Every structure is written in structure tokens, then in C-alpha cells.
Amino acid sequence: MPVLAAPSQTYSIRDFEQNNREVAELAEALENKDGITILYPTKTGENFQQLATIVPETLRTLDEALAAVTPSLVRKVSSYYYELNKRRLTFEYVHADMRGPYGEHPQSEVQVGGFNRYTSRIRLFIPNPGEQGVATGDNPLTVTHEFAHAFHYMLTDRYGYISMERRWLELMEGYSFAPERVNKKVFVSEYAATEYDEDFAETFAHAFVCNRPGLGISNRFFRQMGKTKVVTPLGKKVAYIEQLLKLTMPDNQEMLENYRLVYSTPVSTTAAGLRLSGPHLLFINMPEPRLVPMTLLRNLLVSEKSTVWFPSLGGWYCQDLYGNHLVLFPEGTYGNPGKNLMEYKEELDAKYAEDLAQAQLLKQEREEERAELTARTQQPAEKEKEPEPEPKDGGTLLRTLPSVA
């Protein structure tokens, strides 16, 4: 959904030349790592030098999002489109008229992103300089959603669009798109309920991005029928995509493990006495978005200058004109913690650092497990090969579905 916003003071570009240099270096590094092309708009500065109108944090968000699906998968998809169009997968940041209802010429709709399979381009929209609008390039869910479209169309060329759509509809157990009320055990989001292509991309994106405490959606993969747990349509769709990932890159264990985190991620977490849960926490561990939601600033009587970014919450803490303590989240929602979070900043920062350390430790443990497994499989087969252990998370769901191929 589009969210009108105001520029954050944090990302006012004061040194255009330094910004230009950092953006260029990051773009080159990402292009080399992921086998992609990155395009971004510039504006003419002094001496007619072309200066980037995105900021380094924009590309760091792209890096975080693509790291979850893994560079190996990104390179594979990019290579496919190069063979198809003679162009690598391209992430293009584009200025767009996103003034919405608050602009001089009001608009009712705002486009937030798109993928064109014939040009190999993923478009991520950013507002024109000085314009109030959304910056979808700062949103990890949008980045992953558009990449999912590229992955999906690559698969439909292999398995057939109609066949894949028919299979998807079977998993939905009779539910239809565009329902009056979205069933959360069927669709991962309201946008997913609009049509098949968007449902696939939204399900893929949420499974990779909702992989931190407070974001878990695995509680929506089952429903209780008497004493038996039954897999929901959403659970079947998530498992179906996992099958497709396995078929595409069976040796990419990092990708599969990142995907399976959705099965084990807690639905909520607690920090500084706050119970945190829901999709508004998508920006935890992510760089601060460039824009603060203007709809919240106006409706809640908040000054943008008073906001403070809390990476541990994935939102901005502030007080409104009446002294209420608020947290504004980038996708347009807000919460009222009822306390001055500046007094809890050290505690929240410590919890944030602890979560990062645990995530890094888990990553190292999994790398060691993969290395050990690789070493065992490369040894001469002196005895019958032992079966590979079942994955701890999500393995049972896969047995409920027939083969994709």
C-alpha cells in the first residue's frame, strides 16, 4: 500500500560528492557479488557533475534483501534473463510522481514498484528531489517482492504458467482472489489476495523477510480440526515455493535455511517491557528509511524533526503535541508504548546487539554444519550412504504436496 512521507533529516544529503562516491562504490560491489546491474537517477551539480539522488543506505537495504535469497540464486535468475534478453537482471531506481492526494495535482494511486520480464528490469520508485512521496527502494519487502516476480516468471517458462497457476489454485482449497474479507490462513497479505502473480510474489517475499522475532507467520500454516493439525492453504503455498527453490538450486543450503527461518521465527518478542509483533517490524536490523510517513505526522500531530530512529524497533520514536509517546513505523502504522523510550534506549540497544550476535552465531553454526556435510559426502563410499537428516523446520509440510516437476 502506498504511504506518503516526508524526508527524514537523517538522510539530507549534505556532501553530494561523498554521497556520489559511496553510492558508486556500493553499486559496483553489489553488481559484482550478485551478477546484476544497478541504475539510479542523478542530478546535475556544480561543474556539470552528475550526482546520485539515492543514498548509500538505499543500496544497503538492497544488499540485505538480496542476501536473504542469497547471491547464488540472484546470479542464477540474472543469468536466465541475460540469456533471454541479453540483459542482466537490473535494479533500477526511478523518480516518479508520487505526490498522491497531498500534491499540487492530487493523485488517488501511487505506483510502488514493478518488474518487466522483457527488459529484465526491476523498478523501485523514489520521489523526485523535494517531493513528498514513498521510497519503495528503502523497503526490503518491496525489493524481495519484485525479485520474486523475476524468479516466478523464470519458473513459468520451465513448468508452464497455466500448470503452475492451476497447482496454486488447488492449494487454495476453493478460496478465490479479491475476497471481501482476507483470510489470513490463505493469504499472507491483502495485496496477495488480488491475483495469482501477486500472491506468489507476496508469499515468497514474506517468507524470506519475516525471519526475525516478532515477524513470524508460521502460526498461520496450520489450523486445528478437532485433535488434528491441518495444513492451511498459506502453509501449503509456502511449502510449494520451498519445493520450487529446492528444484532450482538443490545444493544451495543457505538459501533453503534462510527460507525455513519463517517456520521457526517467534510470532512476537519482548524488549524493554514492550510486546513486539506484526509486519510493521520489517525494518528491524535494516538501515533507516529515507522517509518518515507523512500521513502519521499529520494525523498524529508530530514534528518530523523530533523523531529518533530506533533500529531495535524498526521505527521512529517521538512524542506528539500532547506528550504521548509514539513509535512510527515506515509502512504507515504506529504504536503507543506509554513510556519514554529514550530512557530505555540502552536496554533496547543491548537487546538489539544480542539479537544480532545470536543471528551471527547461528549463521556460523550452520556454515560449519554445511562444511561438515560436504566433507562427509566427498569421502569414498566405504559403506552405504546415510540419509541426509530431515530439516528441523518445515520438512513435514513438504510431504503433503505432490512433486512439482
Q: How many other CB atoms sit within 10 Å of the CB of residue 387?
A: 6
Q: Which three cell numbers stand for residue 348?
A: 533496547
**270 or 1, which is more confident?**
270
Structure confidence at residue 401 as a pLDDT band (50, 70, 90): very low
Q: How many other CB atoms sit within 10 Å of the CB of residue 200?
A: 26
In a domain, 379, yes or no: no
In a domain, 12, yes or no: no
How large is the average pLDDT for residues 336-354?
A: 87
In a domain, 335, yes or no: yes
Does the pLDDT value for residue 66 go beyond 80? yes
pLDDT for 193-240, tens place per residue?
Answer: 999 999 999 999 999 998 888 888 999 999 988 888 899 999 999 999
**264 or 403, which is more confident?**
264
pLDDT for residue 311: 86
Output phi, psi for 234, to 5 deg: -65, -45
Count Cα neighbours of 165 within 13 Å in the Cβ-side half-sphere.
Answer: 12
Q: Which three cell numbers stand for residue 245?
A: 527453490
Q: Which three cell numbers stand for residue 191?
A: 495485496
Which segment of 28-32, 227-231, 235-239, 291-295 scores lowest on mean pLDDT? Answer: 291-295
In a domain, 330, yes or no: yes
pLDDT for residue 32: 97
In a domain, 41, yes or no: no
Q: Rounded to an integer, what distance in angstroms lies between the CA atom of residue 146 and that of residue 116?
A: 10
Q: Rounded to an integer, what distance in angstroms lies between the CA atom of residue 314 and that of residue 289?
A: 9
pLDDT for 347-395, tens place per residue?
Answer: 888 887 887 787 778 778 877 877 787 788 777 654 554 554 443 433 3
Does the pLDDT value for residue 298 go beyond 70? yes
**163 or 383, which is more confident?**
163
Number of residues written out for the chain? 405
Average pLDDT, the chain: 82
Structure confidence at residue 268 as a pLDDT band (50, 70, 90): confident
Does the pLDDT value for residue 45 go beyond 80? no
Structure confidence at residue 100 as a pLDDT band (50, 70, 90): very low
113: nearest Cα among 96, 131, 88, 130:
96
pLDDT for residue 251: 92
In a domain, 1, yes or no: no
pLDDT for residue 389: 45
Q: 30 and 36 in contact (C-beta within 8 Å)?
A: yes
55: nearest Cα among 140, 131, 129:
129
**38 or 98, which is more confident?**
38
Q: How far apart are the first and last CA of the chain?
A: 35
In a domain, 344, yes or no: yes
Q: 307 and 23 in contact (C-beta within 8 Å)?
A: no
Structure confidence at residue 131 as a pLDDT band (50, 70, 90): low
In a domain, 21, yes or no: no
Structure confidence at residue 111 as a pLDDT band (50, 70, 90): low
**82 or 50, which is more confident?**
82
pLDDT for residue 15: 78
| Most trustworthy range by pLDDT among 166-175, 268-277, 316-325 | 166-175
Q: Provide the residue range defining the domain that includes 297.
A: 275-349
How many domains, the chain? 1
